[in-house]
Structure 1
């Protein structure tokens, strides 16, 4: 899990966010404590606390005094909205710029996406040992 060149507290925050987005950490459930995170990743508890504090400031986690940190209701939707915006900025905008350069319109892009998605699905099915038919 530890990536070189990226702050550990950011990686902790991203890992918790990933767990919320993929549903393994449900809304209104207890999040891992800073001590649990520190022990699991073998890092300083203050570093883990910084990642958790970042999520608290962002409104993804909240504290129940004497009990621990919990996932905020609506956190998954909030994170999905943020990630969709980041996805558009990182991938869609450059894709549209290149498509314009190549003279491709929205229908052309949609057709390419459908074609590639179908090919990817067929490859995944074959890779899993299933017959695509």
Structure 2
């Protein structure tokens, strides 16, 4: 398990995102048992209620499901749901803003694509 960061996000969201990342990265696959609330509490040394809130959000969104007395498991189609949501969020959080800024700068679609290719090749000024 990876570490939680002091990034301004509430811990329950970090717990949720940690499990989501494990699903997206195929560390947890459909039908696999997710880490238990108790395991997460012990590992991260945080409040049980905080962990439960993050896990319950995944249950509510049908990414995880509960088997009474056994634990939490990754639901069928969980990875696809997460990937679809993340792609939508990526578009809303980054692509829309990038395109708007490109429009302000008068960049053509071709120029914008070329800039993206340069970044992918590691030719950006920011590195």
Shift of 1:105: 1.8
The separation in 2 between residues aligned to 1:99 and 1:11, in whole angstroms, is 32
- Structure 2 spans left out of the alignment, 5+ residues: none
- Structure 1 spans left out of the alignment, 5+ residues: 121-133
Partner of 2:61: 58
Partner of 2:24: 21
Spell out the pairing of 1:1-133 with structure 2 (5 A cutoff): 1-3=4-6, 5-119=8-122
Structure 1 runs (4+) greater than 3 angstroms displaced: none
The number of residue pairs the alignment matches comes to 122
Distance 1:4 1:116, change over 3 A: closer
The separation in 2 between residues aligned to 1:31 and 1:49, in whole angstroms, is 13
Secondary structure at the residue paired with 2:73? strand
RMSD: 1.8
More helix by share: 1
Shift of 1:116: 2.2
Secondary structure at the residue paired with 2:99? helix
Shift of 1:16: 0.6
Shift of 1:10: 1.1
CA displacement 1:90-128 (0-9 Å, x = unmatched): 1111110111111112111111211221235xxxxxxxx
Distance 1:37 1:95, change over 3 A: same
The separation in 1 between residues aligned to 2:65 and 2:10, in whole angstroms, is 22
